[in-house]
Amino acid sequence: MNVTDQHTLFIKQKAAELGFSFCGIAKATFLEKEAIALEKWLSNNMNGQMDYMANHFDKRVDPRKLVDGAKSVVSLMYNYYTPLKQTHSDAPKISKYAHGEDYHLVIKDKLKLLLDAIIEHIGPVNGRAFVDSAPVLERAWAMRSGIGWMGKNTNIIHKKSGSFFFLSELIIDLPLTYDRPTTDHCGTCTACIDACPTEAIVEPYKVDGSKCISYFTIELKDSIPASMKGKFENWMFGCDVCQDVCPWNRFSSPHQEPRFNLSEELQNMTKQEWLEITEDVFKRVFKNSPVKRTKYNGLKRNIDFLKHS
């Protein structure tokens, strides 16, 4: 085994020790095909009010502009699947990914430990960690590194474990042994397309972000359009529909991350308690939660919208 293979093996073993489910590595290079697709997606206004998607376009499609001398993109998947549900079936619903502590905090901690371990074991390595909050095309790198394919709902799917994963990356100036992309296994299935309540999956492998329930309940700052009334299926923050119906998610297994656990208070809140939620309760229930992103007024808007749908 040569030194490059040794370094690669060390990184993958350390990632597994830190709780990452899968780790794949791709060569840091310009994403030509993806750049064209992103430009077209933006020109069709499928980002809605997500203006940040158009920012730093050059960095988004070339990791070498994010890290000087970048050689490798280490892509990682961290499981967040849980079979636990909110106790009251008529209560407004929250996406599984937001049941516990904000994943940005949890995974950033893990990535820092991984980068520190690489430097300690290998020597001076320049790199940066990314968790869904910087101009990185995560799904493109996940596909290039072989840890999954992009499903028709545009989520990354792993053949043995489904799609309930957070994606993250280390971009480093260390040459490594690169993985090959996997193949697409969606076949003729259209379960996600058929089930989407707002028809946001406008064609296989293309989502109009401005039509997605997650967009309306998290990203949109204005009032939710009246045309969406009756289409949210009781989702007040995010939406899991296209993943819940995906046949590959029958292979999902419960996560082992205590910081993602559903709190007892959140699990047991009734529909009436949600309708009457105060700002103090919001701050207590969603301390360190991704739901804080909507702020109290945003979540209250979503709940009121469901009430009048």
3-state DSSP percent of the chain in helix, strand and coil, to 5: 45, 15, 45
Active-site option among 5, 62, 132, 179? 132
- How many CB atoms sit inside 10 A of residue 207's CB? 23
Candidates 130, 167, 174; CA nearest to 147 is 167
Tokens 């300690």 label which residue?
A: 120
Q: Is 132 a catalytic residue?
A: yes
Q: How far apart are CA 15 and CA 20, in angstroms?
A: 5
- How many CB atoms sit inside 10 A of residue 80's CB? 23
Facing residues of 206 across strands? 203
Cβ–Cβ under 8 Å, residues 98 and 240: no
Residues 295, 300, 302, 307: what is their CA dihedral angle, to the nearest 10 degrees?
A: 170
What's the token pair of residue 40?
């077209």
Phi then psi for 51, rounded to 5 degrees? -60, -25
Catalytically active residues are 132
